[in-house]
Amino acid sequence: MSSTAAIGVSALFLVDLLDMFFLSMLGEQELAAAVGYAGTISFFTTSIGIGLSIALGALVSRAIGAREIDKAKRLLINAAAVTLVMSALTAAIVTSFIPELLSLVGASGHTAELAASYLYILVPSLPIICLAMAFGGALRAVGDAKLSMWSTLAGGAVNAALDPLFIFVLGLNIEGAAFASVLARLTALVIAARGVFGKHQLWGGFEWHALRQDLPVIFAIAGPAMLTNVATPIGNAFVTRAVADFGDSFVAGWAVIGRLIPVTFGMIFALSGAIGPIVGQNFGAGAYERLRESLTRALQFCCSYVVIMSLILLLLKDWIVSLFAMEGQAADLIRFFCQYMAVFFLFNGALFVANASFNNLGKAKYSTVFNIGKATLGTIPFVWLGGSWGGVYGVLIGQAVGAVLFGVLGVITAYKLVAKVTAAGRKQLGTILDEAGLAPVAATPMSSSRVPMALLAEEAEVAAEERRNE
């Protein structure tokens, strides 16, 4: 689940990195800084779509785990409708305030003008990428991670092919990069939608009364999930503003780092999306013994992967600097990140995994609390103190300290929640078996294996019916 999603996710983020590479070839460092500022705003808008896709994936996977296919179809189409409306409203609002938002994150002068021209093209396409992510989440929810990967991979390929054409051949510069991204988003949407409605036949028809009925259920997860994911770019915007106080050269270096992180750690971003459907299906099926194991394996994988990739960044730091033609302060900041700070991403990854568990175990508010806490209490004071004591390098150190604190707390809370859910599930199963006159829960396979509660409950109901017939 993670590897297929990571290929697709990394492909899209790799194209962002290629945007930076192609634009750096134009010889204007302001372009790199402009993409950095624009990326902060774009990250905010797409995070809303990520939150909505989390809700859709959680609801659909839970319904499929419980073998309620018609309900899964209904929830999918209604969650997609909510995604379309919410993303369109967000795009309209953000487009209206692009200059003000850029000023808020520290952009000014010609750099701000370049960033604005990029965003005026990209932001209106937000509904396209949000629906693409939502349908990708639905594909993962039904276990078709490969097709979800191909949708994003195709989008990345389109973007990579069109970037040099629009930027150099047509001379559109930063606007060309934005146009290429819009067409890439459209490609990803078309392929994901065909997979959901064509291959898997998940179209159940749209009905207004069904939408009204499902809205509370959808927003019970989507609301906290959106707040959770929006918190991250808000914290990132504060860091960008703190870096901007030290000059556009550092912002250019920070922009490269901002695109280097998702490419390098794309597997960890994908892990958080992959673990959700696994947890959701097992939770829906009552296979509680698998919940703790899923959480543990995901965290082990996260730590191993981040350490390996951090070592690779350490070895390639000088090559990365030369590849993007960074000099002076920008180059120094990139080297500092690769040498000292990259490994701390494992705490971000740990919080991603914990949040995915919260969202799929019916406690989406937990992920909201942790992400908002990390973006505020875990970012603002640490970044401010770090910047005051250690300059721009202290800003990065302060951000890492906050990630450590909230990553550890998130994991502890996730394990406690899994234990609580497991105990409640065993108690419920014991009641069902007792009413059916079967073995007590301590003697059932549930206590020592992975037999889903849903299956045991069905067997108990069959046994109870046979006893009534006798």
pLDDT per residue over 401-435, tens digit each? 999 999 999 999 999 998 888 887 777 666 655 66
- What's the pLDDT at 438? 55
Who contacts 64 (Cβ-Cβ below 8 Å, separation ≥6)?
Answer: 72, 141, 142, 281, 284
Rounded to an integer, the average pLDDT of 373-402 is 93
Does residue 310 register a pLDDT over 60? yes
- Reference 342, options 334, 351, 350; nearest CA is 334
Does residue 192 register a pLDDT over 50? yes
Q: pTM for the complete prediction?
A: 0.68
Does residue 398 register a pLDDT over 80? yes
Average pLDDT across the chain, whole number: 82
Rounded to an integer, the average pLDDT of 97-110 is 87
- What's the pLDDT at 67? 74
Rounded to an integer, the average pLDDT of 217-242 is 78
Residue that wins the pLDDT comparison between 463 and 173 = 173
Contact between residue 143 and residue 59 where contact means Cβ atoms under 8 Å apart: no
Spell out a b/e string for 315-327, using b for 16 or more CB atoms within 10 Å of the CB, else e.
eebeebbeebebe
- What's the pLDDT at 274? 75
Residue 143, Ramachandran bin (φ over 0: left; ψ between -120 and 50: alpha; else beta): left
- What's the pLDDT at 453? 53
Does residue 91 register a pLDDT over 90? yes
Rounded to an integer, the average pLDDT of 349-356 is 90
- What's the pLDDT at 77? 83
Q: How many CB atoms lie within 10 A of CB 99?
A: 14
Confidence category of residue 186, pLDDT binned at 50, 70, 90: very high
Residue that wins the pLDDT comparison between 341 and 260 = 341
Confidence category of residue 311, pLDDT binned at 50, 70, 90: very high
- What's the pLDDT at 381? 94
Rounded to an integer, the average pLDDT of 37-43 is 81
Confidence category of residue 200, pLDDT binned at 50, 70, 90: confident
Does residue 446 register a pLDDT over 70? no
Residue found under tokens 């007792």: 434
In the chain, the percentage of residues whose pLDDT exceeds 70 is: 86
